[in-house]
Each structure stands twice: as C-alpha cells, then as structure tokens.
Structure 1
Amino acid sequence: MDPTRLTEPTDGAEQGSDVVLKSLRPELEKVLWRGSELGRTEHRTVSTGFAPLDQELPGGGWPCGAVTEILQPHPALAEWRLLAPALRALSLAKRPLWLVGAPMIPFCPGLRDAGIDENQLIRVDAQAPAQRLWATEQAVKATGLGAVLAWLPQVRSEQIRRLQSCAAAADMPVFLMRAVTAHQDSSAAPLRVEVRLEDAWTLQVRILKRRGPSHDGALSLPSIPQRLAPIVAHRFHRPTKVSEWKPTLRVGAAPASISAPGLGAEGVNADHARCEQHVG
C-alpha cells in the first residue's frame, strides 16, 4: 500500500469530514473544531479592545466561562493596560470587578482616565496563598460579577484545574496573573498569554495557548492612555527593561481593610472602591 494515500487528504476526504462534523450532535459540535481553525466557544466573549488580538482569539475576545492566564516578567507591570478596555466595558455595565491579592492599591485617577468606574472595584486582601485561592474560588462561584482578577504566583496545576471547572459555569472572564517563568507549567486554562513592554507605550503580547492552532510571533499593541495620546511624541518611546518576576510571599503589614461580609476565611479581608488617591 502506498503510504502517501494515508497522509495526503483528498477533496473527497475533506468533504467527508465536513459531513461527519455536521452530523454530530449539537453539544459535540460546539467543542470540536478543525486543528487549523480557531476553536468554538459556547460562552460569550468580551472584546479585548485591541482588534489584532481579538482576531486571534476564539470568539473574538476574552472568554467568559473560562480561566485566562496573564503571564508577565513582573507583577503589576502591564495587566491593567492589557485588560483596561474590557474592564471599562464591564464596569460601565455596572458589573463589579473582584480583585484578589492585587500587589498594589489601584490608582483611582488612572482608572478614571482609562474609563473604569472605581466604584465597581472590590479588592480582597488575602496574604497566604491558600487564602488567595479560597477567595478566588468563592468569587468565581458568585453571580453578578463582571470579572475576577487574581494574582496567584504560587498556584499549582491541580488548583488551576479546579478553578477552571468552577469557571465553566460562570458568565464572566476569570484572569489569573502569574510569573512568566510559569509558561512551561501544565495548565487547564484554555487561554494563556504572555505580556511584556515592547517600549513605554506598546505592549508585546504572545499567545502561548488557545483553542485552535498554535500562534507564532508576537502582537504589538499600542497602549497609550486616551488622554495622553494627543501629546505623547514618538521621541518618548523608550525600550523598557524589567527584571524577571520570581514568585515569593509578600512580606509586611497589610494595608487597612474592611472585613468582607460573607467571607468566612480567617485572614481574608475586602475593600470596596478603596484606591490610592495620590503618588507619594
């Protein structure tokens, strides 16, 4: 037998596979796709606000009902700039944004400039990794939220699998911020992206995992704040170097916070709309 007949599909074979796909039960058709095409999603998506990135993601945006990992070389480096357009849309729809373990207090003037309603922020200050994980899972299981953003540098693969299982029933995107060194770890998250600063005003985004074919290369996404765009000159574009993020436990006293109603885990507190108002 000529082995090439087994490896070279014919037009008839292509048509036959189409017939097979169309004959599948609807629930199976939603989770199967050709390897050369972007996968399907049974949940809605939220536009990233960056057209080139939307074009590369299944459903054209950040997936709801799924965990998305944001990997970067340093915490609080670029996640807000990457997620700001989507968070703006969610906050304007009066959907609360749940933050777990944010490394810095959100800066209200910057949020307002990005169009994000700071009154929709709920910040959970959890010190220990187990507390952060518990608070994240409770938020994912909650209803009525716009999105969950959790900084979990020490999360393990089996814990991500559990969060993904919970997220499958949620009508919102769930973002996990991790160190770029975790890119080789196995993960049940359907979408994993790496974000760096290409220069002071440009994000460099690599899609490490998605439902569909692998993505080669990087996307350059301008991220100049809307109010600064008219006055930022090209000469201010500077390469930016940052050190690699090595996950460690945060040391030091936690900022003042308010006990969160309904959160029974010891050591977990929440602030509603508490933002940094100035730069010291």
Structure 2
Amino acid sequence: MNSVVALDSLLDARRLWRGQPQARPSSRQPTGFPALDAVLPSGGWPEAALSEALLPLDGIGELALLWPTLARLTQAGGLVALVAPPYLPFPAAWANAGVRLDRLQVVRAEPRDAAWAAEQCLRSAACAAVLCWPQQPDDRTLRRLQLAAETGQCLGLALRPSSAAAHASPAALRLALEVRPPQLRVLKCRGGNPPARPLSWPLPVGESPAPPNDPRTAVPDRA
C-alpha cells in the first residue's frame, strides 16, 4: 500500500502547485442595501441570473427589498416587467419609490401561463429585469427561467413562499425574509458560502423609498 504523504509537505517541497482562486468580478447590479451587498460574493445581485426571495406571507416589505434596484434600472431607461403579479401595483407607491412608471410593464397572465410569460420576457433581451411570482414551479420550470435569464442577460427576480426553501433551486441567489424575529437570511449565493448570521430586517438604508408595510403599496387583484 502506498504511504500517505501530507499535503503540506508536498507544498513546502514545491512538488505540488496550488492554484490561486480567481476573483469574481463585482456585480453591476447592487441591491441598494450596503449591508446586503457586503455579504454577497459579487457585491450585488447575480447578473444575468435568477434570484429568489422567499416569504412567509405577502406584505412584509418584499417590494421595499426590490424597489431600489428597479428604480435604478428604470431611471437608466431599462424596462422592468412584472409578470402576473398577485396584487395590482399602486402607481403612486412605485413612483414614490423612484420607479419610472413609463418603464414599468405589467404582464397579465393566467396562472398556468405565468411561468411561460416570465420565461419569454427574460429571454427577450428587451428587459433589464423581470419580477415574477411562479406558482408551485417544478425543477424544470425554474431551470428554464434561470437559462432564460442567462440567454437574455436579464436580472430575474422571483417571489416565492417560504416553504420553497425545503426544495433545491437552480437560482443563483436565495433570500429568505422572516418576521419572527424580523430578519433576512441568505440561504444560497453562487460563488461563496452564505453568511452564518442573518441580517436585521428591514435592512437599514440611507433613505428608504417607502415604509415596508405601507398599505398603499398594492391593492388585491386576486380575481
């Protein structure tokens, strides 16, 4: 049987070469929250990829998490698509958050067609970001959304229930919002290990666009 040789001794004798990890390029898509950017490997949203925010219930500030990014993209002239939102967006709240309404497109779709519509928007290369609410998607559907975001070089954002955390996902980034206690956890981040400690929620910002639980942010549209 061959003897076991300590790895350190091979390195010291220069008989084994250790490669240097390649630094990942910084993201051009900051979240707008310095505390969150600081714990993400690229310093922001993964580019041309799907990111998920997992929620225990609606209306806990999930839009406030996304508004800084959507405002920045629309102010730069980018088009943002909302695919089959469960609530009808309230224009004044989105405008107060800095989102250009003329660069915001709401796509109405039946639940069975919502994932397909989101995939087409992501793949089109016409959108800077696509926000969707996939209903019980299977692994194949999520992989198609991830691939579409890569193909269209688009920022994909999906809002899903917290129960989805029990299942694997091809999304490059998975964030979980919690209310008891209020905190944000990074469950998965491509290119690095998730931080062990959660972040306080709502995330501290220099100037919040709107209170996270402001009832004016949306009106039900469940019909």
Task: Tell me the TM-score range normalised by the shorter chain.
Answer: 0.7 to 0.9
Deviations 1:189-215 (A, max 9, x none): 11111123478xxx6211100121232
Which residue type is aligned with residue 77 of structure 2?
A: K
Matched residues in 2 for 1:16 and 1:89: separation? Answer: 44
Answering whether residue 193 of structure 2 is matched by residue 213 of structure 1, we say yes
Match for residue 78 of structure 1 among 45, 61, 64: 61
Residues 6, 195 of structure 1: alpha-carbon distance in 2 compared, 3 angstrom cutoff: same
Contact 1:113/1:225 (<8 A) preserved: no
Residues 205, 228 of structure 1: alpha-carbon distance in 2 compared, 3 angstrom cutoff: closer
TM-score by length of 2: 0.81
1:25 aligns with none
Answering whether residue 134 of structure 2 is matched by residue 152 of structure 1, we say yes
Match for residue 118 of structure 2 among 127, 133, 136: 136
2:147 aligns with 165
TM-score by length of 1: 0.66
Deviations 1:45-92 (A, max 9, x none): 311011111112232111221110111111343221101111110010
| Higher relative contact order (Cα pairs below 8 Å, separated by 6+ residues) | 2
Contact 2:87/2:221 (<8 A) preserved: no
Contact 1:100/1:132 (<8 A) preserved: yes
Name the % identity: 31
1:55 aligns with 38
Which residue type is aligned with residue 156 of structure 2?
A: V
Deviations 1:149-184 (A, max 9, x none): 000131111211121112112222101111111102
Corresponding pairs, count = 211
Matched residues in 2 for 1:8 and 1:155: separation? Answer: 50
Match for residue 24 of structure 2 among 22, 37, 40: 40
2:6 aligns with 5
SS of the equivalent of 2:6 reads: helix
Match for residue 183 of structure 2 among 190, 199, 204: 204
Deviation at 1:11, TM superposition (A): 5.9
2:109 aligns with 126
| Larger deviation, residues 102-111 vs 190-199 | 190-199
Let me know the Cα RMSD of the aligned residues.
3.1
Which residue type is aligned with residue 216 of structure 1?
A: A
**Consecutive unaligned residues in structure 1, runs of 5 or more:** 22-32, 230-239, 241-249, 254-280
2:97 aligns with 114
**Consecutive unaligned residues in structure 2, runs of 5 or more:** 214-219
